[in-house]
């Protein structure tokens, strides 16, 4: 069998993938939790954690993209052209949203007049002047982008499960270290 048919992703690629997956899930859950909370010290603490996680994820996705540019992934396994196109489109849109979401949150915080202070120690520059109308718009944008990413992640997971359960190919095993590739 060709190497491209059995090649796994590199260890850093797998690490970036799963760190991003866990970080995105946790930060999405934190965002949902804090959104409906009454103003309190706990809500403000959650907002800080959410911002710190968002900035961390922005840095991770930048490193992940740099790694992907330096170390090309193995080619996709054989599949119909429409599935290859869909796979590439979903991956591209997920990368776009993984950049756009934390940037929209940072912009939203700036428009609210609240500076992002990473880890409570490193003040980041405001990306916009205080502007209530812009804040309201960015709040909607940030929320919409998050739900769009959630839909893409669900499509991504469904595709991986389809490859595992219906196609019985090695797609999922290429990203999960303890899985064996099927012959």
- pLDDT by residue for the chain (183 residues), tens only, comes to 444 555 888 899 999 999 999 999 999 999 999 988 999 999 999 999 999 999 999 999 999 999 999 998 888 888 899 999 999 999 999 999 999 999 999 999 999 999 999 999 999 999 999 999 999 999 999 999 999 999 999 999 999 999 989 988 888 888 887 876 554
Total residues belonging to the chain: 183
Structure tokens at 91: 């991956």
Q: Any residues with CB less than 8 A from the CB of 78 and at least 6 apart, and which?
A: 5
Look up the domain containing 170 and give its range. Answer: 3-174
Q: Is residue 98 part of a domain?
A: yes
Q: Is residue 135 part of a domain?
A: yes
Residues 148, 104, 96, 141: is their CA dihedral positive or negative? positive
CATH of the domain at 160: 1.20.950
- Tell me the C-alpha distance between 132 and 148, whole Å: 24
Closest C-alpha among 63, 54, 55 to residue 13:
63
Total domains present in the chain: 1
Residue 65 lies in a domain: yes
Which residues 6+ apart lie within 8 Å of 153 measured at CB?
21, 24, 94
Q: What is the DSSP letter of 10?
A: P
Buried b / exposed e along 69-80 (16+ C-beta atoms within 10 A): eeeeebeebeee
pLDDT at position 3: 44
pTM for this prediction: 0.89
């Amino acid at each position: 069998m060709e190497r491209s048919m059995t090649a796994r992703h590199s260890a850093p690629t797998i690490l970036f993938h799963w760190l991003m997956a866990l970080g995105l899930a946790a930060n999405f859950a934190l965002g949902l939790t804090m959104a409906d909370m009454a103003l309190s010290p706990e809500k403000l603490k959650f907002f800080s954690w959410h911002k710190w996680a968002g900035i961390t994820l922005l840095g991770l996705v930048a490193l992940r993209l740099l790694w992907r540019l330096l170390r090309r992934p193995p080619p996709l396994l054989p599949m119909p052209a429409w599935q290859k196109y869909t796979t590439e489109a979903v991956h591209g849109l997920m990368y776009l949203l993984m950049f756009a979401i934390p940037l929209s949150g940072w912009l939203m915080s700036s428009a609210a007049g609240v500076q992002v202070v990473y880890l409570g120690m490193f003040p980041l520059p405001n990306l916009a002047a205080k502007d209530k109308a812009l804040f309201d718009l960015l709040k909607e944008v940030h929320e919409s982008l998050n739900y769009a990413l959630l839909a893409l992640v669900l499509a991504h997971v469904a595709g991986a499960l389809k490859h595992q359960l219906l196609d019985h190919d090695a797609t999922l095993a290429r990203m999960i270290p303890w899985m064996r590739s099927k012959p």
